[in-house]
Amino acid sequence: PEFKKYMYEQQFNFKYIIHIADDYFMHRYGVEEWTKFDNDAKENLRIELINKIDENMSGNKAGGKSLVSPFFRDNTGAMIKGIQIEEVKQTLASGEFLPDSYAGNTEVLFAMGVDPALLGAGAPGGKNLSGSGSDKREAWTILCARLPRKHIRTLMVFRLIQKWNGWNPDYVAKFPNINLTTLDKNPNGQTKVVN
């Protein structure tokens, strides 16, 4: 986990590479005006343009916006793009985090004594869930098989209240036990088990 943590912290996480031709500024401000600016002023104008592009390309409000970028001709007559934006391929955006989150969720559920299949826990798009429901049915059966001790402990409270209040000792409290079945064996998919 420590290695992955540092790997994620140290990696570049850029969305776009923005190329701006120097000719763009010459055409925008004019050749004479641009050459009058000192290097600091030129750099400030570049940063200002980049910030404006960033503001318009990031966040929820940026979805579907257009960017107009002029074309220029160089000394040879070849076309030059004033501003060119390239998308950086996001190698960790296509689900590489899912196995880690799935493993973490599973560890928590196991510590609680809960089968992840009961909650539908699995890596989305992963192969851990069969999709037929048999994994959930079997997880439910296992859970029910582990509950009698908890039921007995809970029913002790009922017995104590029953004795304290002088209720009829023939009264018996129980928990329903439902055995899930497949629809081909039972149309409603469940059978009551009598204890």
SS3 assignment for 45-88: HHHHHHHHHHHHHCCHHHCCCCCCCCEEECCCCCEEECEEEEEC
For residue 160 the two structure tokens come to 């104590």
Let me know if residue 6 belongs to a domain: yes
Band of pLDDT at residue 154, cut at 50, 70 and 90: very high
83 and 152 housed in the same domain: no
Let me know if residue 193 belongs to a domain: yes
How many residues are listed for the chain in this entry?
Answer: 195
pLDDT of residue 188: 65
Let me know if residue 112 belongs to a domain: no
Let me know if residue 170 belongs to a domain: yes
Let me know if residue 99 belongs to a domain: no
Single out the residue in 42, 64, 87 at which a domain terminates: 87
In 3D space, the residue among 190, 182, 108 whose CA is nearest the CA of residue 144 turns out to be 190
Question: Quick check: helix, strand or coil at residue 18?
Answer: strand
Band of pLDDT at residue 93, cut at 50, 70 and 90: low
N-term to C-term CA, the chain? 47
Taking phi over 0 as left and psi of -120 to 50 as alpha, with beta for the rest, 94 belongs to alpha
Let me know if residue 126 belongs to a domain: no
pLDDT of residue 144: 84
83 and 159 housed in the same domain: no
% of the chain with per-residue pLDDT over 90: 13
pLDDT of residue 168: 94
Let me know if residue 186 belongs to a domain: yes
13 and 82 housed in the same domain: yes
Let me know if residue 116 belongs to a domain: no
pLDDT of residue 71: 83
83 and 7 housed in the same domain: yes
Comparing 193 with 81, the larger pLDDT belongs to 81
Average pLDDT over residues 171-195: 73
pLDDT of residue 167: 94
Look at the chain and report how many structural domains it folds into: 2
Structural domain of residue 156, as residue ranges? 147-195
Single out the residue in 87, 111, 133 at which a domain terminates: 87
Q: Judge whether residue 19 has pLDDT over 90.
A: no
% of the chain with per-residue pLDDT over 70: 75
Q: Judge whether residue 155 has pLDDT over 80.
A: yes
User: pLDDT (tens digit, 9 = 90+) per residue, 22-70?
Assistant: 888 888 888 889 889 999 999 999 899 888 888 887 777 777 777 777 7
Single out the residue in 44, 60, 87 at which a domain terminates: 87
User: pLDDT (tens digit, 9 = 90+) per residue, 104-127?
Assistant: 778 888 888 888 887 776 555 555
